Amino acid sequence: MTTLSLDQRRGRQRLLRDLTARDPRHMIARGLLIGDTVAGISFALGLAGGVAAIATGGRVWTWLLLALAAGIARGSLATLSQRIGSDLAADAKIALRTRVTAAAINQSVGGARTSGELACTIVDEVEAVDGHIARFAPIRTAATLSPLIVLAAVALASPVSALILIGTLAPLIAALILAGGAAAERSRQQFGALARLSGLFSDRLRALPLLLAYRATDRERVRLGQAADEVAVRTMGVLRVAFLSAGALEFFAALSVALVAVYAGFNVLGLLPFTPPEQLDLFRAFLVLALAPEFYLPFRRLASAYHDKQAAETAADRLLALEADAEPVRPLEVHSAPALAFDQVSLRHGSADADAVSALSFHVEPGETVALLGASGSGKSSLLGALVGTVPVREGTIRIDGRALESGLAVAGSAAWAGQAPLLVPGTIADNIALACPCSPREAVADAAEAAGLAELLRCRAQGLDSLLDGRGSGLSGGERRRIGLARALLSEAPLLLLDEPTAHLDAEAEAGLTTAILHACRGRTAIIATHSETLAAQADRIIRLERRYEAA
Amino acid sequence: MKLRELILHESARHRASGRRAALLGGVVGLASVLLLGLSGWFLAAAALAGAAGSAVALGFNYMLPSAAIRLLAIARTGARYGEAVFSHDAGLRIGARLRPALFAATAAAPVRQALAVARGSMLRVVMDDVARIETALVRRSAQWNAAGAAVSGVAMVALAGVPAAAVLVALLAATILANEALARRTRRSEARRDEALAELRLAADELLAAAPELRCYRHADAGQFLERPGRALALAGREAARARALAVMIQAGCMTLAAIAVLALSRGGPAPTAALATLAAAMATDGLAPLLRQIAERFSTRDSANRLDQLLAHEQQDMLPVVIGRPTLDLLGVHLKPGDRLQLEGQSGVGKTTLIEHLIGLRSPVAGRAKVAGVDVVFLRSEQLRSTFAWQPQDAAALSGTVRDNLLIARAGACDRALWQALHDAALDELVRALPHGLDSWIGEDGARLSGGERRRLAVARALVADAPWLLLDEPIEGLDPATAQLLLERLERRLCRTGQGLVVVSHRPLSCITRCRSVVVPQRCAAIEITHQPQPAACSLQPK
């Protein structure tokens, strides 16, 4: 795995930090974990007092009550911290998803990522930051403060024991600094190796049609098996080393308990080979013994949450890459039906070798309805995409009312769009129509629905415009969905209307019905209809036939 | 083979590692409890001896306990390291067999189901399930860890009296039972979370499909449309998170109660025993942690296992020898002799690609559309169809691997000359020659390092490597620049003349160089037929019995 640049590392740290920076709960979650340490100290105090009281015949119950109260406090604090952490993570994920979705919508079509990958990023990569926010980040803060608090408590009881703890911590830190870089690198490699195996498996499943068609599934199974074994063996090699750093932690944690126990034992016996600066009694000796595991507890919690950190960092890298690739567009404001001029325009998708449209010129008058007619692959949709900024212009100029549509500019915002699959969101039919401009008055929505030919649908539904739709738009026919999209376009007062295959996959009758509504929507605007339907195109003011691009020379 | 059988079978093969992990796990639990208990006893005893005067102190046997404490510290560290290594060794090796088995079973499933895994959102679910099982496999020694802690804890507490030991046993049992109950209660919310996740994935897919529309209307805050399913997911996830938090509470509570109860019950006895018993009781409840985590994940692991079992239920059939020779082909009423060429035309969406996928056995066959050697494809096994055709898919799918990997799918063991010839005929030889490692150059995930046109030519080259009597090319020159398209067609024509292979090609573009090429317009009803037949699970009839 390549080593990350400093900028990359900073970038992802900033991303993860900013997710919760403004939310006071992240401080509360951290504070509660530190409170958990204080309660842990009180618990040790209670036990030590109880044991000492048994030895001296003192009052045991007071100490037991202290231990009980501390134990209950401890559980409550840790539980509360976890709950707050997970609530915090839930909110942060929603905010992050909103942010990432905007970046995903701003990717150019045919770019580096398929829409499946984008969906995966929006859903799964965002989910992957959960553990970092809910667990790792609070634990990391606690891991820097809690050991110091424990150390202070130990020092009050027995300064020498505190020195012993520091003495075991120092080599641990040295070991982590010396081996830690290597161990972290190893652990990253292991994460990478598992991800690769997982990737190989999903890749072979994705390619299943191909492998089935060539009867190659048996061979691939064998190869997959070999690869899986190989990764398992290699991963073990990595893990043997990675576990060493966990082993170092374990070793020093165990050693600190043993050393403190032996020192305190010999101290109370008075058999130390040197004169100790302090004389311990059973209470203090037992207290430092009970506190020794507490000293290493935050480090062990941190180690167990390390996986969360790695998963979140991997996800953060991908999210940042997605945001870096987003190409947000500035809107070119248009107020009345514009004139469009395409001058020698060539369009090309991200990874394509050839132009989707090459050297195309045409002109659209203000208020004119133009049908772009051509077979699929002739670049109709790409032309619409160029206007809203999803497809980059490679050469030539598009002018809107004489203003050039430069790179980074688009008419999105001044245009209405109606395609084959309008977006349907959970809510009423009215909500869905008003998606274009949510503050439209009710009458305007009703008018738009009427004009789009939704009257019949609304009559059939008891609640009319207030009928609920689920996100799938269940129960709507293909024609009805498109009418909702059209109503949306009608409602929006955008002076430019773009229609992408508005009648595709409809039978002749449905197409005829929809055509009337489409023409109504085009009135008073400049409209471009991309279609391969001669029937629909015939209704436009003018037809521009896109030649098949590749008349092989 | 069921998942359970697979795991049992593989566990048997890696029994040694599994046993060592279990043994060392037990030692870890044992040593943790002993270390602290013994330390407590040593301290208290030493304090009493010290208080009794230097004569008693000198008579106190300090060597043995202090040596034992140091030994236990080292034993615990070593055992924990060993446990981690052996449990991962066993778990990873068993897990490594899981993926190939799942792949084989998916490939053997009825084609509709197999492709649902390959193409749909199910892939993600399968990947998550495998990861979950793998995690469970490497954590199998957790129960021994807890057992070691519990047994040694109870034994040490018994020194302080039977009542104390009985209380500890009761509290350990209560902790486990409470966590079991919690896991059962959380199971439904975990399932709800999975549903919410699937719902969110669907919503994200639809939102992205509507990107241009969103750009027009309000693209800046498109994310708000995912807020509702996102909140539903958060809500479902919150229940599970609260249960996890509650589990922390239960464990902390039981640890507190165990320590206090044991201390209270041993207050009549000697202080060293009380110290030993109290610390042992605390550590024994603490030692349950790995087991409790296993319990918390038990149901989600089981649900994953059940889902994978459904996939694993499909067993591979023995392939019968396939002998069809060079058959004739009848397609939409056009009769083709071996070596004939046919171009399928028609508007997009009428079902040209669907028709091609019927021929290659990637869809349930529909009667009356195609015959191979005079026999309707409905009566042929997919094996026979697949050996008759070499297919270039419309999406030009590629394996992540090298150029060679991608070509050898078509014919294992094809020689380099054949590969280069195929690359030449697909107009891709110059590019591959220029790559740093030639045929062995890595082309990235799904051919990501190649451009769209290069991937397409690679897919054509793959079809050429296969020795099938008929080529099925689905948009072979889409996205190629005119000169390259021309070159590819010229070379394809020459190759067809040389090999005498037949050609069925879908193309929106005229195939200028392909001679003797008839064409047929795919009628609109093709798509309609497909839709009406889709819900019937007829795919099974293709499987050899």
CATH code where residue A481 lies: 3.40.50.300
pLDDT value at residue B529: 39
Q: Is the dihedral of CA B44, B50, B56, B57 positive or negative?
A: positive
Please provide the distance, in angstroms rounded to a whole number, between the alpha carbons at the two ends of chain A. 47
User: What total of structural domains would you count in chain A?
Assistant: 3
What's the CA gap between A124 and B123, in Å, rounded? Answer: 13
What's the CA gap between B486 and B473, in Å, rounded? Answer: 16
Q: Where does CATH 3.40.50.300 sit in chain B?
A: 329-542
- A314 shares its domain with A337: no
Q: Please say whether the beta carbons of A346 and A394 come within 8 A.
A: yes
Identify the helix (H) or strand (E) that includes residue A271: none
- A324 shares its domain with A336: no
For residue A300, the chain B residues in CB contact (below 8 A) are none
3-state SS assignment for residue B341? strand
Sheet holding A393-400, edge to edge: A357-364, A340-347, A393-400, A403-404
What's the CA gap between A483 and A457, in Å, rounded? Answer: 10
Q: Please say whether the beta carbons of A154 and A161 come within 8 A.
A: yes
What are residue A330's DSSP bridge partners?
A409
- A112 shares its domain with A36: yes
3-state SS assignment for residue A412? strand
pLDDT in tens, A177-206: 665 565 566 666 666 666 677 777 888 888
> ∠ CA(B340), CA(B346), CA(B351), 5° rounding?
90
Start-end of H helices in A106-158: 115-120, 126-127, 130-131, 137-157
Question: Closest-CA residue in chain B for A270?
Answer: B50
- A408 shares its domain with A529: yes
- A104 shares its domain with A249: no
What's the CA gap between B42 and A264, in Å, rounded? Answer: 9
pLDDT in tens, A252-286: 888 888 899 999 999 988 888 888 889 999 999 99
Question: Which three-class secondary structure string do you get for B217-286?
Answer: HHHHHHHHHHHHHHHHHHHHHHHHHHHHHHHHHHHHHHHHHHHHHHHHHCCCCCHHHHHHHHHHHHHHHH
* Mean pLDDT to the nearest integer, A301-327: 84
Cβ contact A51–B76 (<8 Å): no
Question: Which numeric CATH code is attached to B329-542?
Answer: 3.40.50.300
- A362 shares its domain with A438: yes
For residue B275, the chain A residues in CB contact (below 8 A) are 51, 286
ipTM value for the complex: 0.83
What's the CA gap between B153 and B278, in Å, rounded? Answer: 10
Q: Please say whether the beta carbons of A490 and A521 come within 8 A.
A: yes
In a domain, A553, yes or no: no
pLDDT value at residue A503: 83
pLDDT value at residue A287: 94
Dihedral-angle region of residue B140 (phi above 0 means left; psi in -120 to 50 means alpha; beta otherwise): alpha
- A122 shares its domain with A226: no
In a domain, A287, yes or no: no
Question: Which numeric CATH code is attached to B3-312?
Answer: 1.20.1560.10
The whole-chain average pLDDT of chain A stands at 85
In a domain, A286, yes or no: no
pLDDT value at residue A64: 94
- A394 shares its domain with A486: yes
Query: A281 vs A53, A262, A531, B49, B54, CA distance in Å?
Result: 12, 14, 92, 12, 15
Identify the helix (H) or strand (E) that includes residue B323: none
- A32 shares its domain with A114: yes
Q: Please say whether the beta carbons of A100 and A322 come within 8 A.
A: yes
Taking the CA of residue B134 and the nearest CA in chain A, the distance in Å comes to: 11
A487: amino acid identity, one letter: A
In a domain, A4, yes or no: no
Q: Which domain holds residue A315?
A: 9-146+307-328
What's the CA gap between B486 and B138, in Å, rounded? Answer: 56
Question: Judging by DSSP bridges, how do beta strands A330-331 and A409-410 pair with one another?
Answer: parallel
> ∠ CA(B291), CA(B293), CA(B296), 5° rounding?
110
DSSP annotation of B402 reads B
Cβ contact B69–A262 (<8 Å): yes
Q: What's CA B459's distance to the chain center, in Å?
A: 26
Where b means 16+ CB within 10 Å and e means fewer, B308-340 reads: bbebbebeeeeeeeeebeebbbbbeeeebeebb
CB atoms within 10 A of CB B404: 16
- A393 shares its domain with A523: yes
Which residues of chain B are under the pLDDT cut of 70?
A: 1, 119-121, 218-220, 316-324, 348-349, 445-446, 524-545
3-state SS assignment for residue B521? strand
For residue A222, the chain B residues in CB contact (below 8 A) are 100
In a domain, A422, yes or no: yes
- A421 shares its domain with A532: yes
Cβ contact B263–A548 (<8 Å): no
pLDDT in tens, A444-478: 999 999 888 888 888 888 888 888 887 667 678 77
Predicted model pTM = 0.80
- A30 shares its domain with A174: no
Q: Where does CATH 1.20.1560.10 sit in chain B?
A: 3-312
Helix axes B15-51, A25-56, angle to 10 degrees: 50
Taking the CA of residue B5 and the nearest CA in chain A, the distance in Å comes to: 18
User: How many CB contacts within 8 angstroms connect chain A with chain B?
Assistant: 499
For residue B49, the chain A residues in CB contact (below 8 A) are 269
Cβ contact B36–A90 (<8 Å): no
